[in-house]
Amino acid sequence: MKAKSVFLGFIFSFVLSFAQEVGNIVKYKGSVKVYRENIIKPIQVLQENFPLVVKDIVKTKSRSTAYIKFIDGSKVVLTEKSSISIEDYQVVSADKGRVFFKIRKRGDLRGLKVKARSVVIGVKGTKFMVDLTDDSMNIFLKEGLITVRSLIGEFIRYKEKEISEFESFKEKELGEYEKYKKEMEEEYKEFVKEFQMEAGTAVSIKNGEVRNIKIPPEIEREFELLDRF
């Protein structure tokens, strides 16, 4: 058994030596696994400052958290039942669960890009969270500015005026309201390939439709996870 462990450690070190290191799992809680190219079985993280390389996939189990720091100083926190894929030094894919990002500004260089399902989020010095826990995707922007671009077709972006008009019309009869709602949707929606978000805003994306939502107090508090390492 000891010889087998030494052999596996040797293989791990050998593969790592030829890979491009991008950061570390600085600390973790619970069960965190790394799926690495050319290694059949997932690697159970058992130490702090666990090195991550290009093509790694990081997954957390129930009641588990992974705190990741990239070599440029950017931070990523995976809450429970979450996963990310590191496509290369410039691109990280949020695949599942709730993932927090604190991206360090890189001067005039192209900022880190975050992929999530069929969208790509252009980032340059910001703090935000992507929630993929159900069939919709929610993006909560705490600080900075991001650009959200569709990889497939265009977004149907609903404007704020449509929502406020709907709210003021709730006391009308249902049939009349539905007719009015349809007219308002046609008047106050636009088709866009990309859109920008500002600090303190949030959106929900489902079936290509983008609607503004609020940032819940519990999400506001969870952003503190990015300041714990």
DSSP-assigned states of every residue in 91-126:
EEEEEEEEEEEEEPP-TTSPPPEEEETTEEEEESSE
90-124 b/e (C-beta count within 10 Å ≥ 16 → b):
eebbbbebbbbbbbbebeeeebbbbbbeebbbbbb
Task: Find the DSSP H helices in 116-197.
Answer: 160-168, 174-187
CB 206 within 8 A of CB 132: no
In terms of pLDDT, which residue wins out, 189 or 201?
A: 201
Give the pLDDT score at 105. 73
Residue 45 gets which letter from DSSP? P
CB 160 within 8 A of CB 198: no
Mean pLDDT over 99-104 rounds to 94
Give the pLDDT score at 181. 62
Tokens of 66: 């992974």
pTM of the model: 0.82
Q: Would you say residue 1 has pLDDT above 60?
A: no
Domains of the chain, residue spans: 2-149+194-227, 155-192
In terms of pLDDT, which residue wins out, 9 or 106?
A: 106
Q: Express each pLDDT in 109-161 by its tens digit.
A: 566 789 999 999 998 789 999 999 888 999 999 999 999 999 999 999 997 65
Give the pLDDT score at 7. 46
Give the pLDDT score at 150. 97
Mean pLDDT over 156-180 rounds to 64
Mean pLDDT over 34-55 rounds to 97
Question: Where does 2-149+194-227 sit in CATH, by number?
Answer: 2.60.120.1440
Q: Compute φ and ψ for 63, nearest 5 degrees.
A: 55, 40
